[in-house]
Amino acid sequence: MLVHEFLNILEKLAPAFLAERWDNVGLQAGSRASEAGSVLVTLNVTDEVLSEALESGCGIILTHHPLIFEPLASASEDGETGRLLGRAARGGIAVAAAHTNLDNAKGGLADVLAGLLDLRNVKALAGASTGWSKLVAYVPAGDLDRVKAAVFDAGAGVIGDYRHCSWSVEGQGTFLPEAGASPSIGRLGEEEKVDEFRLEMVFPAAATLKVIDALVRSHSYEEPAYDIFSMETRRRDAGAGRVGDLASETPLEEVAGLAAELFGLQEARYTGDPGRHIRRVALVPGSGAGLMNAAIAEDAEVLITGDYKYHQVLRAAEAGLSLIDVPHDASEMLALENWLLRLKRELSPYGVDAVLSQVRTDPWRRAPRRERIMLRPEEEMGMYRLHVDGGARGNPGPAAIGAVLVDPAGQKVEELADFIGTATNNVAEYQALIAGLEMSLDRGVRRLTIFSDSELIVRQIEGRYQVKNEGLRPFYQQAKSLLAKLGEFELKSVPREANAQADLLVNKALDETQA
């Protein structure tokens, strides 16, 4: 497959005219005539991504964020962009960008996210420009069919799934040929009246010269009269963001929790009343806070996107729009990963594969929280710590639980590891919590900080998530009953690595049982 063949497929999936005017999409490095080989898809072009492409033999990189975004004064390799372009050129790698055109396209990233959220009655939040111009030409009756056919062949007259779209009305044209003219109708120095048609049709603005040339060549007049108008027509099936309805009304906090789960986040920030019932949802992959007014105009109750500014959050609150904050790269990466399946289908007849880059290109790095060692007030010194974990090898599958009780001085008081038979992960997590609470109460502990790496269990105990699974409800009620016997407790959701002792006990019990 040649690069230009790949670009034709990309144009079909993400037409360039759908890109915002400030964007820069299409081929940015390499030759259209070179071999594409396989395609590496990434959010950004970095040194690590170029190395990955070279090692895997990919001939083209499709990047979501353009490598060349702003006009370059120089392609010198003294600058970062020039250096990356030079390295791509030396490696024979073409680079193409599909940014807002891919976000906005029908079946593009915004549609992918709407599908993952199972939204209904979906439409574009802000319709994309059609990229059309309109031709208005004045044609004698005898030329009409010939001119229409020529201009249609030049790409005019296409609206959606319809071709040869035009409009015409009959009228009368006048002209007076002067010296030097060579009229096809009439005589020099005599005013002529001719029955003509006013012919109108739309066409892609990029095809302007081609359409004018077709009109002039097919028209019998020496100097055909025509006008070209720019159009502000918007598409309904494509554009920035999406807005649609959830299958049923859902509390805002639960919608935020679902977003966190979908985008692989520990938690999702949101604004608004946690119990507010949400039905109509707007979303924008990447950075979409600028579409807040469009979301309000579409009666959306919540907007899911990233890169909010503080004053935008305050303005949304005033307008009654709740916000869910999803990191820029998290939404785009999830959408790109799922859209990749569509690209693969289009490439398969050519025997070409597309793969998602395994390189993390998000520029942000994250440091784990560091607890400062501080002396606690005397009244807090009696707080015990309980780490609990449950796990199943299969869901359901062989399951075990682990719990570790630590006194206020940091000394281990007791631990347990037990095989519980066949169960789901969530059932095992609840049983670990119950067993750990019973162990603590038996030791006379009444002030307890509990650590679990199951965010679901913690949120359900806190009342922030509903217990929808009837199989979990008895365990939930038993855990709540045991917690009520404590004088004071705090329940915390922690990453698995922060719960390593309990996790080791789970695996120990499973290994011993399955040995």
Listing DSSP states for 276-316 in one string gives: -EEEEEEEEEEE-GGGHHHHHHTT-SEEEEE---HHHHHHH
| Percent of all residues in the chain with a pLDDT value above 90, rounded to a whole number | 72
Averaged pLDDT of the chain: 91
Asked if residue 237 has pLDDT above 60, the reply is: yes
pLDDT value, residue 378: 36
Q: Which residue has the tokens 């892609």?
A: 204
Digit-coded pLDDT (tens) for 29-59: 999 999 888 999 999 999 999 999 999 999 9
Digit-coded pLDDT (tens) for 156-178: 999 878 999 999 999 988 888 88
Q: Which residue has the tokens 């806190």?
A: 462
The span from the CA of 462 to the CA of 308, in Å, is: 28
Please give the structure tokens belonging to residue 409. Answer: 């001085």
The span from the CA of 20 to the CA of 8, in Å, is: 20
Q: Give which of 203, 94, 112 is closest to 158, Cα–Cα.
A: 203
pLDDT value, residue 281: 98
pLDDT value, residue 377: 43
The span from the CA of 34 to the CA of 55, in Å, is: 18
pTM of the model: 0.62
pLDDT value, residue 451: 96
Provide CB contacts within 8 A for 25, sequence distance 6+: 14, 16, 19, 66, 97, 98, 99, 100, 101
Q: Are 203 and 133 in contact (CB under 8 A)?
A: yes
Gyration radius (Cα) of the chain, Å? 32
Kind plus residue range of the DSSP H or E element containing 386: strand 384-392
Asked if residue 475 has pLDDT above 60, the reply is: yes
pLDDT band at 454 (very low <50, low <70, confident <90, very high): very high
Asked if residue 382 has pLDDT above 80, the reply is: no
Q: Give which of 451, 444, 448, 445 is closest to 495, Cα–Cα.
A: 451
Asked if residue 331 has pLDDT above 70, the reply is: yes
Digit-coded pLDDT (tens) for 131-143: 889 999 999 999 9
Q: Which amino acid belongs to residue 451?
A: F
Q: Give which of 110, 203, 192 is closest to 153, Cα–Cα.
A: 203
Digit-coded pLDDT (tens) for 257-284: 999 999 999 899 999 999 999 999 999 9
Asked if residue 342 has pLDDT above 90, the reply is: yes
The span from the CA of 189 to the CA of 430, in Å, is: 99
Residue 398 has phi, psi (to 5 degrees) of -55, 130
pLDDT band at 179 (very low <50, low <70, confident <90, very high): confident
Name the least confident of 29-43, 185-199, 481-495.
185-199
Average pLDDT over residues 317-330: 94
pLDDT band at 369 (very low <50, low <70, confident <90, very high): low
Asked if residue 469 has pLDDT above 90, the reply is: no
Q: Are 65 and 44 in contact (CB under 8 A)?
A: yes
Burial class (CB in 10 A: 0-12, 13-18, 19+), 372: exposed
Q: Give which of 70, 101, 82, 103 is closest to 29, Cα–Cα.
A: 82
Asked if residue 236 has pLDDT above 80, the reply is: no
Digit-coded pLDDT (tens) for 142-159: 999 999 999 999 999 998
Digit-coded pLDDT (tens) for 91-101: 999 999 999 99
Digit-coded pLDDT (tens) for 280-308: 999 999 999 999 999 999 999 999 999 99
The span from the CA of 256 to the CA of 270, in Å, is: 7
Q: Give which of 134, 133, 132, 135 is closest to 226, Cα–Cα.
A: 135
Q: Are 62 and 40 in contact (CB under 8 A)?
A: yes
Burial class (CB in 10 A: 0-12, 13-18, 19+), 426: buried
